[in-house]
Amino acid sequence: MNTDKQNIKKNSSKSIRISGAEAVIRSLLEEEANLVYGYPGGAIMPIYDELYKFQDKLHHVLTRHEQGATHAAQGYARTSGKVGVALATSGPGATNLVTGIADAQIDSTPMVCITGQVASNLLGSDAFQETDIIGISTPVTKWNYQITKASEIPEIMAKAFYIARSGRPGPVLIDITKDAQFEELDYSYKKCTGIRSYRPYPELSVDSLKKAVLLIEQAKKPFIVWGQGVILGRAEEEFKAFVEKSGIPAAWTILGLSALPTDHSSNRGMVGMHGNYAPNLLTNECDLLIAIGMRFDDRVTGSLNTYAKQAKVIHMELDPAEVNKNVHADVALIADCKISLKEITNRISNRKYPQWIDRFDELDAIENEKVIDGDLNPTKPGLTMGEAIQMINKHTNGDAIIVTDVGQHQMVACRYAKFNQSKSNVTSGGLGTMGFALPAAIGAKMGASEREVVAIIGDGGYQMTIQELGTIFQQKTAVKIVVLNNGFLGMVRQWQQLFFDKRYASTEMVNPDFVTIAKGYQLEANRVSKREDLDQAVKKMIDSDKPYFLEVCVEKEANVFPMIPTGASVSDIRLE
């Protein structure tokens, strides 16, 4: 067997005789995947043995749970723009990946997961730690495949990375039997550049482009809603040029946040259940709705029976399956938005809509008076989540990557965090996975090591993956962890208060001493509960060049407004 680890060549046509396990490692390096997250076990041990031999070229991060490996890989992918990689063994190791895989699927995050499997002669025999991970993961992967012969590894690995990163990105799972890892093959590698019948980048229709331009030129009250497609398509500059030339006000879904700087004059805030008052209400007043790289999720639209019925709709989308799925498009531009935005910007005229913009300003003033002032400049003695976010803005100048978990703190952070550059908002959008933020922040920091990374987490979600403090400790990853502690599963409690007559069933948390736990992992740690101490506490955290934990004790029963009740119209948005 060839044991020379120094001669790895890109797309090498010359074959070498190696094991399947070594072929996996060499294939990862061919795809420039030099950082992987995982947890070893019996069925994937041959791959880990080869990983040990290649540790000078491929850095492995030992997470404390396989779910943590997937979320860390997601965070890495979201900030680096590369494919995240996670490794796990068979059985429970593989099934523990499923939540992160499902999260990556619905949020279009490129990820390759590699699982070990029992030997091929044991498949279907209920062998120890055998699980049909292919069957289990089929609904939540972009593609999956089980390898039973070592000779399949180079081609399947190349396909896996191509499928994960091309078109609308997503997770791929490759399951490799243990005998295929030991078996030898004549190894050579060729990157995948295309697959028959798979068209990841549809060609833009010139006819549809002309129709879209005509609708824009005719509109009196146009409105843009953009999503993560702008970021995934690396189309931030094209999007900004379109917004500035068209003069059209624009709002974002939570995954689209940071594609356009927060303080840009055309950025009118967030749409959706806890979005801003003006963009939600005016969705049902605009005469043209331009949706870019978003999928009309129910948390954005509310009741589809009343959503933007008065408006013509232009839908710019890469994935044709998303067009006309929830909202009818009068014109669909099915193409890479980097291309379609550039083409449409070249064809439209410079426009301004002063009266329409005034309408946004009027509604913004109402929201400022009824909601935002109280969140950011409270008169009550208890700290608010909004104050904490505002203080983080002060000490990071809008240049930090903010990683959020799921719940009230997520909505508050998305509403009030400031962003100057793209790929700065990392959150679990479509699946809403509690426990996402802590491991995702590890990956986010490793994907953008030069940037400050602040994880903002609720006391409930924090405890779902709190063991990843061990990963931070071992890797010395300089993430800043802020737990906004209200002693409740806050979002569920808010719904119980508003819609279930304050029956707080199983939502109050009896929490441990988070500071003591953090110090047990040798992290710098602090707790703040008084307004006069918040500024200095946040400054000390941001000034540190090491991992840091800060617990902020906030009001126990504060609610997040505005709010659109489930199933209600966006016009039914509540300010209190």
- pLDDT tens digits, 418-432: 999 999 999 999 999
Scanning the structure block, which residue is given the tokens 């896996």? 160
Phi first, then psi: what are they for 4, rounded to 5°? Answer: -80, 110
Q: If you average pLDDT over residues 39-63, what whole number do you get?
A: 97
Judge whether residue 12 has pLDDT over 70: no
Judge whether residue 85 has pLDDT over 80: yes
Tell me the per-residue pLDDT of 208-226, one tens digit each, with 9 for 90 and over: 999 999 999 999 999 999 9
| In a shared domain, residues 89 and 122 | yes
Q: Is 337 left (phi over 0), alpha (psi -120 to 50) or beta?
A: alpha
CATH at 273: 3.40.50.1220
Picking from 334, 360, 386, the residue at the C-terminal end of a domain is 360
Scanning the structure block, which residue is given the tokens 């050579």? 188
| In a shared domain, residues 163 and 34 | yes
Q: Do 21 and 182 touch, CB atoms closer than 8 A?
A: yes
* Coil, helix or strand at residue 301: helix
Per-residue pLDDT band at 3 (split at 50, 70, 90) = very low
Judge whether residue 8 has pLDDT over 50: no
Judge whether residue 102 has pLDDT over 50: yes
Q: If you average pLDDT over residues 294-321, what whole number do you get?
A: 97
Scanning the structure block, which residue is given the tokens 């060549």? 9
Is the peptide bond between 562 and the residue preceding it cis, with omega within 30 degrees of 0? yes
Residue 133: predicted pLDDT: 98
| In a shared domain, residues 273 and 352 | yes
Tokens of 299: 């948390």
108 falls within a domain: yes
The pairing of strands 312-317 and 35-38 is unpaired
CATH at 511: 3.40.50.970
Query: What DSSP string runs through 393-412?
Result: HHHHTT-SEEEE-SSHHHHH
Name the residue range of residue 153's domain: 3-187
| In a shared domain, residues 276 and 335 | yes
**Local structure of residue 369 (DSSP, 8 states):** I
Residue 285: predicted pLDDT: 98
Tell me the per-residue pLDDT of 437-447, one tens digit each, with 9 for 90 and over: 999 999 999 99
193 falls within a domain: no
| In a shared domain, residues 286 and 335 | yes
Kindly report the length of the chain. 576
How far apart are the C-alpha atoms of 22 and 150, rounded to whole Å?
A: 10
Tell me the per-residue pLDDT of 467-511, one tens digit each, with 9 for 90 and over: 999 999 999 999 999 999 999 999 999 999 999 999 999 999 999
Question: Which amino acid makes up residue 328?
Answer: H
Q: If you average pLDDT over residues 291-310, what whole number do you get?
A: 97
pLDDT more than 90, % of the chain: 97
| In a shared domain, residues 119 and 173 | yes
399 falls within a domain: yes
The widest CA-to-CA distance across the chain, in whole angstroms, is 74
196 falls within a domain: no
Judge whether residue 245 has pLDDT over 70: yes
pLDDT more than 70, % of the chain: 98
| In a shared domain, residues 496 and 424 | yes
567 falls within a domain: no
Average pLDDT taken over every residue of the chain: 96
Residue 13: predicted pLDDT: 58
Whole-number Cα distances in Å, 404 to 101, 129, 166, 467: 18, 34, 26, 17
Tell me the per-residue pLDDT of 390-400, one tens digit each, with 9 for 90 and over: 999 999 999 99
How far apart are the C-alpha atoms of 300 and 290, rounded to whole Å?
A: 14
226 falls within a domain: yes
Q: Closest by alpha carbon to 74, among 167, 164, 200, 192?
A: 164
456 falls within a domain: yes
Q: Do 283 and 245 touch, CB atoms closer than 8 A?
A: no
DSSP strands (E only) in 257-380: 267-270, 288-292, 312-317, 331-334
Residue 4: predicted pLDDT: 38
Q: Closest by alpha carbon to 346, among 246, 455, 432, 277?
A: 246
Q: Do 45 and 21 touch, CB atoms closer than 8 A?
A: no
Picking from 326, 360, 394, the residue at the C-terminal end of a domain is 360
How far apart are the C-alpha atoms of 469 and 457, rounded to whole Å?
A: 13
Tokens of 516: 């003591």
Q: Closest by alpha carbon to 398, among 419, 422, 414?
A: 419
Phi first, then psi: what are they for 370, rounded to 5°? Answer: -85, -25
Q: If you average pLDDT over residues 90-108, what whole number do you get?
A: 98
Q: If you average pLDDT over residues 325-349, what whole number do you get?
A: 97
Residue 6: predicted pLDDT: 40
| In a shared domain, residues 151 and 298 | no
Residue 544: predicted pLDDT: 98
Residue 539: predicted pLDDT: 98
| In a shared domain, residues 409 and 356 | no
| In a shared domain, residues 19 and 146 | yes
- Which residues carry out catalysis? 66, 128-129, 178, 491
| In a shared domain, residues 454 and 511 | yes
How far apart are the C-alpha atoms of 309 and 287, rounded to whole Å?
A: 9
Tokens of 236: 């931030």
Q: Please list the alpha-helical segments (H only) found in 219-284.
A: 229-232, 236-246, 277-283
420 falls within a domain: yes
Q: If you average pLDDT over residues 80-91, what whole number do you get?
A: 98
Tell me the per-residue pLDDT of 265-287, one tens digit each, with 9 for 90 and over: 999 999 999 999 999 999 999 99
The gap from C-alpha 520 to its chain's centroid, in whole angstroms, comes to 30
Tokens of 188: 């050579």
Number of domains in the chain: 3
The gap from C-alpha 215 to its chain's centroid, in whole angstroms, comes to 32
Judge whether residue 338 has pLDDT over 80: yes
| In a shared domain, residues 312 and 416 | no
Q: If you average pLDDT over residues 175-189, what whole number do you get?
A: 98
